[in-house]
Amino acid sequence: MKYSFAIASALLLIPSTLALAPSKRAIIPFFNPVLGGGSWLDNAGSGGGEPLNVVISAFSSAAVLTDDGILNYARAIGFSNECFNIHLGDPQSANLGDGHGAVNQTIELRQDFGDAALGTCLESLIGGNHFRVYRQNGPLANTGALFLAVSKEENVTENHTISPDGYDVGRDSLVAAAVGQTSFGGVDYTTTSQTLLNEMPAGATGVNHGIAVDGTVVLLTVTITS
């Protein structure tokens, strides 16, 4: 049994086994970006990166993993489009080790304070939580999992810089809002979480703004229940 488990674990680390056709069910919840030459940090364009500290599992309902699906789910947990869909600053990119190399974020979503239409305008003024979304769908690891770079930021007078300990705090705040039952737009969700300790390097090396992280990634599995 011990050797069978070791062999099975080793097979999961071979990228070629993870080249999944889009129509097929994922066989793992995500592929570790580092194993494919990627990183758990995105590229913030300033010599550092933001941690990909939450992953929405490929075992989630397929509709959640689409562009429209992640937006509706985000609204169910307190996030929405940027204020008037206006984005300031260049998009950040990430290499998820899936064979695509560095790819720009799919979308950036901000805390909406209970108002999906205009609440993110308040976040732009007073600060709050926000996250960037990256999809793992390259030829080496077509899992469909969504990697989120979550962080809490300061208000506009502080130029939206990341709050002290803002990466870990932002992650934990999003997870607290997500776990359990939520709904939006007539879609009901159940979300479970798994804490992956030391999944990424802890500390401040390479991290944007020199803010240390604890090395933890939280894996969310989101199921549509109606």
* Beta-strand pair 107-111/128-135: antiparallel
CA dihedral 17, 20, 26, 29 (to 10 degrees): 60
**pLDDT beyond 50 at 147:** yes
Question: pLDDT value at position 85?
Answer: 61
Question: pLDDT value at position 14?
Answer: 37
Q: What does the pLDDT look like over 39-91, one tens digit per residue?
A: 999 999 878 999 999 999 999 999 999 999 999 999 999 999 978 565 555 78
Whole-Å CA distances, 212 to 121, 167, 206, 208: 28, 8, 9, 9
Taking the model in full, what pTM does it have?
A: 0.86
Average pLDDT (111-129) is: 82
Comparing C-alpha atoms, which of 148, 76, 86 is closest to residue 112? 76
Q: Are 56 and 216 in contact (CB under 8 A)?
A: no
Residue carrying structure tokens 């469909």: 144
Q: What does the pLDDT look like over 171-219, one tens digit per residue?
A: 999 999 999 999 999 999 999 999 999 999 999 999 999 999 999 999 9
Average pLDDT (131-148) is: 98
Q: Which residues contact 15 (CB under 8 A, 6 or more apart)?
A: 31, 35, 36, 97, 99, 140, 141
